[in-house]
Amino acid sequence: MSTKGKRFLSVPVLAVFSLMCFVYYSSIFVFLHDWLNLQSSPGTLNAYLFSLFAFLSLFSFFSCVLTDPGHVPSSYAPDVEFSKDNEAPKKCDKCFVYKPPRTHHCRVCRRCILKMDHHCLWINNCVGYWNYKAFFVFVLYATMSSIYATVIFISCVFLKDWDPIKGSSLKIFYVFYGTMVVGLTITLLTLFGWHVYLVLHNMTTIEYHEGNRAKWLAMKSGQSYRHPFNIGAYRNITSILGPNMLKWLCPTAVSHLKEGVSFPTLRDNS
């Protein structure tokens, strides 16, 4: 099995896949069927729509797991102009290679990752330059699927006739599933909102925390700080999702990405 394939042999990755399958099966064959009947036109339409969102979520998830986040090219050498105008080139004290801007060393992957956002346990991979778009789109589709599943569940609960139902096992299952799917929806909405904020500011999670420290230090010295890679909301979005809006929601449409060793900055616009 290839190195990429081995990423699936992880308990968290298998847990995410199992959860997606469980939510899909329960939403379609339990709650949607109970609510609208899969044999009816509205039931069939909703089943197709939910299946579409589920497929897009799964495809994006696989893209996150299988796509290499980006490593420092062996031919990389620090840009003299960048070093002179900004700061001295940084060398990784673990990899012993020069680090391009926005590159960080991942202790789990044991290598430097281009434009590293974070190491994600749930995809058994780093989220970096080459797979950040896939990660963002995955969170979007997963959030939409989770909201859809919640709507189906709530609609089923309100229309279900509970009087003839005896015993508590079915009610326990409904309470368990409802708690899980609502909690999942809230978690995904929060995560998606967070990454929308990061995309709009062209910032990674690591840079956000570094920026907070930089702001604090700047305030102490009576100066102001602004994230250097924030070049305007629209340009920030297109630098991550691509210039073609029709391809924004395709996790594998990354032809707009370059080498990931240099990025436009505020200084380039001034």
Distant-in-sequence, close-in-space partners of 253: CB < 8 Å, separation ≥ 6:
133, 242, 244, 247
Q: What's the rounded Cα separation, in Å, for the pair 247 and 257?
A: 13
Q: Which one, of 35, 142, 174, lies nearest residue 44 by Cα?
A: 35
Residues in the chain: 270
Query: Of the candidates 157, 144, 225, 219, which has an alpha carbon nearest to the alpha carbon of residue 185?
Result: 144
Rounded CA separation 60/116 (Å): 19
CA-nearest of 14, 12, 17, 256 to 142 is 17
Does the annotation count 120 as an active-site position?
yes
From the candidates 64, 112, 120, 126, give the one annotated as an active-site residue. 120
Any idea which residues carry the catalytic annotation? 120
